Amino acid sequence: MKNQKNSTLVLILLLHLGLYGQHSGNLICRQGKVSFFSYTAVENIEATNNQVVSIVDENSGEIAVQMLMRAFVFKKALMEEHFNESYVESDTYPKLTFSGKINDFDGVWETTAPKFVDGIMDFHGVQKTIALKISIENENNNLVLSGDFNVSIDDFDIKVPPLLVPNISKEIQVMFRFEYVPYEE
């Protein structure tokens, strides 16, 4: 319930940004890519979500991200079933949201220097403040934000059955790439 409420808040933020998108130069990415990797001696697990939505406010440097946990695609069906049913409990917590802002944003997007984004990630019923290092690029006249970070499964209250502890890394590597286009009403 709490997760749904927070998802709704982020959606309101997204819609709020979108409402004035025509005037304030907001950018949208409907097909952002987020992948995660879990490396252990027993097995490597990876999955990709290509339908992550993100909106950026060009003027303020605010970023909102939302994704469906069930949209992660695995190579093997059993991994996908365990992920959705046992670990992230996708029926109870269907979405992951992140809302944050670029630190010391000066309104300039044309930079090669990495930036840091402070924000709150709402995942698996847990809200946690995180700092992300992002790269800013310009590809085909589109703004591209990308980066990677590690997530500790303990931080987000993800329980792994004792039998499967050797199969799941405590630290999950997450990679993301968002290519934005102007938001048009």
Which residues in 23-62 contact other proteins (CB under 8 A)?
30-31, 33, 48, 50-51, 53
CB of 176 to other proteins, least distance (A): 12
| Residue 65 exposed, middle or buried by CB count within 10 Å (0-12, 13-18, 19+) | buried
Find out whether 59 and 107 touch, Cβ atoms under 8 Å.
Answer: yes
Q: How many residues does the chain have?
A: 185
Q: What is the CA radius of gyration of the chain?
A: 17
Binding segment for other proteins among 68-76, 116-124, 132-140, 158-166 (CB under 8 A)?
68-76
Residue whose pair of structure tokens reads 């990709």 in the numeric block: 48
Any contact of residue 111 with other proteins (CB under 8 A)?
Answer: no
Parallel, antiparallel or unpaired: strands 26-39 and 171-179: antiparallel
Any contact of residue 139 with other proteins (CB under 8 A)?
Answer: no
Which residue among 2, 4, 22, 111 contacts other proteins (CB under 8 A)? 4
Any contact of residue 94 with other proteins (CB under 8 A)?
Answer: yes
Q: How big is the site for other proteins, counted in residues (CB under 8 A)? A: 27
